[in-house]
Each structure stands twice: as C-alpha cells, then as structure tokens.
Amino acid sequence: MTRCPACGTTYATEAKFCPKDGSKLLIQGSVSLTPRNTEQRAAGAEPQVKSATVSHANMVGQVLDRRYQIEKKVGEGGMSFVYLAHDVATRERYAIKILSPSLSKDTNAMARLRREAGLGIRLEHPNICHIMRLGETEDGFVYIVMPFVEGELLVDRTNRMGHIPLEETVRYVSDMSAGLNVAHDLKIIHRDLKPENIMLCKKPDGTDRAVVMDFGLAKERKVGGELEKLTATGIILGTPEFMSPEQLRGKPLDARTDVYSLALMTYEMLTGKLPFQGRTQQELMIARLRSDPTPIRKMRPELNFSTGVERVLMKGMQRNVEDRYQSAPEFGSALLAATQEGGESTSFLGKVFGR
C-alpha cells in the first residue's frame, strides 16, 4: 500500500505519484511488529511475522514492518519516542520516531504530519536531518524514519562550555545557514529553531558540523485556506525563548522568522545567555515584543567582541522583519565579514566560508 502525504489517499497499486495532486507516494507500513530472532537472521531466513501487543514507549527488540530492527530508545517527549534502529538487510542505521496513540488518532495532527512528511522528504542535505518515510502499521503504530544523526546537542555543548568560541560559532552558523537556505528555497520554514534542535556531529577530519533537526513544525509559506485551519488562530507553535516577535503575535511567517531565531541562537552561543531578561516565560515574550536586546558587548564585555559582530547580531534580531537580514546566508556572510573586520582569526574563518 502507498499513501499520498498531501491528500492522505491510499493506493493498492505500484504507482509512485498521486494521480490527484502529483505528490510522491509514501510506502504505507503493514502489520509486522515481530520479536527479534537472531538465529533466523544469521541463517539468512526472513523473520516470521508474529503479532505482538507492544507499547510505543517500549519498542526495543521489535522488527517494524519486517525491515527496521529496533535497538534502543534514544529520546522521548510528550508526543513521541525516538529509537535507534537498523535495516535488517543493509544494516544501515536510522532514527525511528514512534508517535503516541493520542497524537496518531488526532485527525488534524495527522493531516498536518502527512503534509509535512511530503515536504520533509525533499529536504535531503548534509546540514538537515530530514524525514525519509512516514509509515503506519495496521495495528495503529505511526512512525517516522529519519537518518540517525549522532553527536552532541548544541544546548548541551553551550551548557558544558559556558559559551562557544567565535570560530566555532561562525562555522556552526555557516552550516545552519546552508541547511536553512535549502528549506527556504523550497518555501519551507522551520519555525522552531532552538539549541535543542541542533546536533553537532563529527566529520572525518575531526571537526564538527551542525545539523538542523526536527522539521516537525515546518510550514510552507504559501498555503491554502484548508491548511491554515490546521493551525488554529491564537495557537502558537514553537519554543517561546527563541520565537520571533511576529511569531509571538500570530502574524504570517516567512524565512526571516528563522533568521531571527538563528541570530538569537548565535547570541546565546557566544555569551551563554539570552539577550532578553524576564522572570517568567510571559515576561520574556513581552520583552521581545517591546524591548531591544541587550548588546553583546554589554552582556559579556570581558570577551572583547567587535562592534561589527554586535551590529550583525542586533540587525538579525530586529523586531521589524524588513529591518533584518532577509536570508540565512546573508546573516552568515555578514557575521563572517564582521569577524574579519575585527581581525579575529581571519585565515581560519575564511576557510570556513571557502574564502
């Protein structure tokens, strides 16, 4: 069976594209939650299919859809559990996100997820962890397959180090800008950029690359009235600390919303602190709507940032979208130029951006 991620129609044919809207069809999973059988696998035999009553919170040892061997749980949230799995044929590793029963039974949420899965498949890029497949078993398990990305979360790196050196920060901003630019070119915005959604992974040369994770709130800029109904007026999607002013106000969003969040994350990487103060989430939100961010040289004067770096960050966090950088690469390039202007490790930073 295949399913259209846009309209949700299922097909029993081997067609690859939906005849209604042209979207690429996703393979719909069949019931096959089977226990691990090492002897059969070693002998080259196909695992026998035995239905098992399992919980989405305890999938270790199961074979999902005769293909994905669940190895261990690597994360969890209110609406899903994330597992490390491998393909029983190729041994390639994947991250499998199993959705909670309450979410998988939510008609609106699933309509939105199917649409986003169709978008996510188009986001293949070294600096993006994209959705590879949306599956659903006959016994009600809805799952998302993504590349398994191993490393350290940016939030953990920042907390561990206190703040991240300028050279590393510029490199990570370059990576994130490249990934976001691919999404923005496809008319997709992330809407929930935050340090918890950035993974720092080791490259063969020993340096790190930043990977943007969890496009689960991704949204096309151009949507019809039917899709708009899926995000009801007054419901804010995102993480309050890193949301743009227009997002807090419930205004229309575009790529510049991600630019704001990227600039705010850059500020936190460099200082270990947020540029707005407040005792509660509500106070922090109001501060972003009414106040200017604390200049970085005032926040951490001992780190000796240049006026150029401060100027770039302040422009990236402007309340008015027209006053910000208009794209992620524009922000990244401006940060590099300001760093070179300040004479800070110019030869190294030039290599980061290929200059």
Query: pLDDT truncated to tens, each residue of the chain (355 aa)?
Result: 566 655 666 666 666 666 655 565 665 543 344 333 333 333 444 443 334 456 777 888 888 888 899 999 988 776 788 899 999 999 999 999 888 877 777 888 788 778 777 777 888 899 999 888 888 876 778 888 999 998 999 999 999 999 999 999 999 999 999 999 999 998 888 888 999 999 999 988 888 999 998 875 444 443 333 333 333 333 444 567 888 999 999 899 999 999 999 999 999 999 999 999 888 878 888 888 999 999 999 999 999 999 999 999 999 999 999 999 999 999 999 999 999 876 554 444 444 444 3
Q: What are phi and psi of 79, to 5 degrees?
A: -115, 0
Q: How far apart, in whole angstroms, are the C-alpha atoms of residue 283 and residue 265?
A: 19
User: Residues spanned by CATH 3.30.200.20 within the chain?
Assistant: 2-147
Which pTM does this prediction carry?
Answer: 0.74
User: Residues spanned by CATH 1.10.510.10 within the chain?
Assistant: 152-352
SS3 label, residue 162: coil
In angstroms and rounded to an integer, the radius of gyration of the C-alpha atoms of the chain is: 22
Tokens representing 120 are 């996510």
Question: 250: alpha, beta or left, given left = phi > 0 and alpha = psi -120 to 50?
Answer: left
Positions marked catalytic:
192
Give the helix/strand (H/E) hosting 64.
Answer: strand 62-64
List % helix, strand, coil for the chain (3-state, nearest 5). 35, 20, 45
Runs of H (alpha helix) within 87-137:
101-104, 107-120
Tokens representing 97 are 């996100």
The CATH number that domain 152-352 falls under is 1.10.510.10
Cα–Cα distances (Å) from 295 to 245, 264, 291, 331, in that order, read: 18, 12, 12, 17
Residue pair 127/209 in contact (Cβ under 8 Å)? The answer is yes
Helix axes 255-271, 154-161, angle to 10 degrees: 30
Map tokens 């398990």 to a residue. Answer: 141
Q: How far apart, in whole angstroms, are the C-alpha atoms of residue 126 and residue 212?
A: 9
The CATH number that domain 2-147 falls under is 3.30.200.20
